[in-house]
């Protein structure tokens, strides 16, 4: 049987912009599996790039370049395997979610899976905004949906995230503005690089106010037929931060320039359309940024290995020195004891008297 082509969907953009709700909307489709936020795939692309270029012994090539394995084939081979694992074990994911919802009092034997096999999956991890190039290497046929929400609403939601999850998403207001700006900027660069056939921009306001039309457009972009059940999650408040009505922004510690640049970009997105085609220069910029990150992590790994090796050697030397110190201490204790005995004999016996004669 031919493997099912890997055609995952990634929802990118800033956290608190609707990535979760859109993931669950698409997850209601009869051909799309909704995954929990993962984060690991982005790091995997970095690790694979390092693996691909790591040289063998004293040779000048890596194993893969020596075998003439193209970089694209190397990455996509791993991507295809990941895709097959997700599709094969989807039933285990369904069972876990069902058990969590049903509770411990319900027998696992009552679980019934869907009869139709889904051929695609969607991941709404916002962090993947910074890994779009690498994810395209893993999954050349992947599609990305950049969901955009106005920065003020996002910052308010970020700062109230603890009401939902019990932990803070950002430390302060400045970090929230900066996170929104970086995630949106990275996603916009991907828009320019790959064009509307690969990356679709979707406004959060459109998803909320024109839900059916928006989802029809999204599914058309994905090449999937419209399914009305995709509207169901929009009738619920999923993963909402519940921002209090009297909550206001205005932290005096926030740098004005950080706010200004985010507000300007947010305003621009309200009126500027998505580019109509991809840009070679933008694609090259994405590739350069990815390679720079790979080199940074590789250098970091190398520095860690070197530092750890030096630590192990230093620790071994420290143990040897500690042993020597302990031996010296034992020698000193022995000499001190013998010296004290000698002094004591000197006090008890007259000078010139043989201690063995009585």
DSSP assignment of 118-160, as one string?
Answer: P-EEEE--GGGGG-HHHHHHH-TT-EEEEEE--HHHHHHHHHT
Q: Assess contact for 109 and 166: CB atoms under 8 A.
A: no
Percent of the chain with pLDDT over 70: 90
Domain boundaries, the chain: 9-278, 280-349
Radius of gyration of the chain (CA): 32
* 8 Å CB contact between 196 and 275: yes
Among candidates 1, 72, 83, which has minimal Cα distance to 35?
A: 83
Closest CA relative to residue 93, chosen from 82, 85, 103: 85
Question: Cα(335)–Cα(38) distance, rounded to whole angstroms?
Answer: 66
Which residue did the predictor score with more confidence, 348 or 112? 348
Q: Which helix (H) or strand (E) holds 61?
A: none
Q: Which CATH architecture fits 9-278?
A: 3-Layer(aba) Sandwich (3.40)
pLDDT at 163: 82
CA distance 53 to 64: 8
pLDDT band at 98 (very low <50, low <70, confident <90, very high): low
Give the pair of three-digit tokens for residue 179.
């996170």
- What is the pTM (predicted TM-score) of this model? 0.81
Beta bridge partners of 199: 144
Compute the residue count for the chain: 358
In angstroms, the CA 270 to CA 150 distance is: 8
Average pLDDT of the chain?
88
pLDDT, tens digit (0-9, with 9 covering 90-100), for 273-327: 999 999 999 999 999 999 999 999 988 877 877 788 888 888 888 889 889 899 9
10 forms bridges with which residues in the sheet? 123, 144
> What does the alpha-carbon distance between residue 60 and residue 83 come to, in Å, rounded to a whole number?
33
Take residue 252 and report the two structure tokens written for it: 């005096």
Burial class of residue 181, CB neighbours in 10 A (0-12, 13-18, 19+): buried
Using alpha carbons, select from 111, 154, 114 the residue that is nearest to residue 27: 114
Q: Helices marked H in the chain — which ranges?
A: 19-27, 40-53, 63-66, 71-88, 90-102, 132-138, 151-159, 162-165, 173-194, 204-209, 211-222, 256-271, 280-348
* Residue-wise pLDDT tens digits, 231-273: 999 987 655 667 888 888 888 889 999 999 999 999 999 999 9
Judged against a pLDDT cut of 50, whether residue 357 lies above it is answered with no
pLDDT tier at 171, thresholds 50, 70, 90: very high
**Across 123-149, average pLDDT:** 97
Q: Is 90 exceeded by the pLDDT of residue 353?
A: no
- Return the structure tokens found at 330: 């034992």
Query: Residues 189-238: pLDDT tens digits?
Result: 999 999 999 999 999 999 999 999 999 999 999 999 999 999 999 987 65
**Buried/exposed 35-54: b ≥16 CB within 10 Å, e otherwise:** bebeeebbebbbbbbbebbe
Instruction: Give the integer Cα–Cα distance in Å for 181 and 174.
Output: 11
C-alpha angle 14-190-265 in degrees, rounded to nearest 5: 50
Query: Cβ distance 15 to 130 under 8 Å?
Result: no
Under the banding of pLDDT at 50, 70 and 90, the label for residue 108 is low
Residue 214 token pair: 């928006």
pLDDT of residue 211: 96
- Say which residue the tokens 């992947």 belong to: 142
**Contact indicator for 285, 193 with CB cutoff of 8 Å:** yes
Average pLDDT score over residue span 15-36: 94
pLDDT in tens, 45-95: 999 999 998 877 656 778 888 889 999 999 999 999 999 999 988 877 777
The more confidently predicted of residues 112 and 251 is 251
Using the predicted structure, report yes or no on whether residue 344 has a pLDDT greater than 50.
yes
């Amino acid at each position: 049987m031919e493997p099912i082509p890997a055609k995952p969907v990634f929802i990118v953009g800033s956290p608190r912009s609707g990535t979760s709700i859109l993931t669950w909307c698409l997850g209601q489709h009869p051909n799309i599996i909704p995954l929990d936020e993962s984060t690991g795939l982005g790091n995997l692309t970095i690790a694979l790039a390092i693996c691909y270029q790591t040289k063998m012994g004293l040779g000048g090539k890596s194993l893969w370049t020596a075998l003439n394995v193209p970089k694209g084939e190397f990455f996509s081979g791993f991507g295809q395997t990941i895709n097959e694992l997700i599709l094969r074990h989807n039933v285990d994911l369904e069972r876990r979610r069902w058990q969590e919802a049903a509770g411990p009092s319900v027998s696992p034997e009552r679980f019934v899976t869907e009869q139709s096999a889904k051929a695609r999956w969607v991941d709404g991890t916002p962090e993947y905004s910074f890994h779009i190039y690498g994810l395209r290497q893993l999954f050349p046929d992947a599609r990305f949906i950049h969901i955009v929400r106005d920065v003020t609403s996002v910052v308010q939601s970020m700062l109230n995230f603890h009401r939902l999850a019990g932990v803070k998403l950002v430390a302060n207001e400045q970090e929230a503005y900066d996170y929104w700006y970086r995630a949106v900027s990275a996603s916009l660069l991907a828009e320019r690089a790959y064009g509307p056939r690969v990356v679709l921009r979707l406004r959060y306001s459109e998803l909320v106010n024109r839900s059916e039309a928006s989802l029809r457009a999204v599914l058309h972009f994905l090449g999937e037929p419209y399914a009305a059940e995709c509207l169901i999650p929009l009738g619920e408040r999923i993963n909402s931060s519940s921002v209090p009505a009297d909550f206001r922004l205005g932290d005096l510690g926030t740098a004005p320039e950080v706010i200004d640049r985010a507000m300007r970009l947010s305003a621009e997105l309200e009126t500027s359309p998505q580019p109509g085609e991809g840009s070679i220069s933008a694609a090259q910029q994405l590739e350069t940024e990815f390679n720079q990150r790979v080199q940074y992590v590789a250098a970091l790994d190398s520095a860690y290995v070197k530092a750890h090796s030096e630590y192990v050697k230093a620790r071994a030397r420290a143990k040897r020195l500690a042993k020597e110190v302990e031996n010296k201490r034992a020698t000193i204790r022995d000499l001190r004891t013998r010296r004290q005995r000698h002094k004591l004999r000197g006090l008890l016996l007259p000078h010139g008297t043989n201690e063995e004669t009585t």
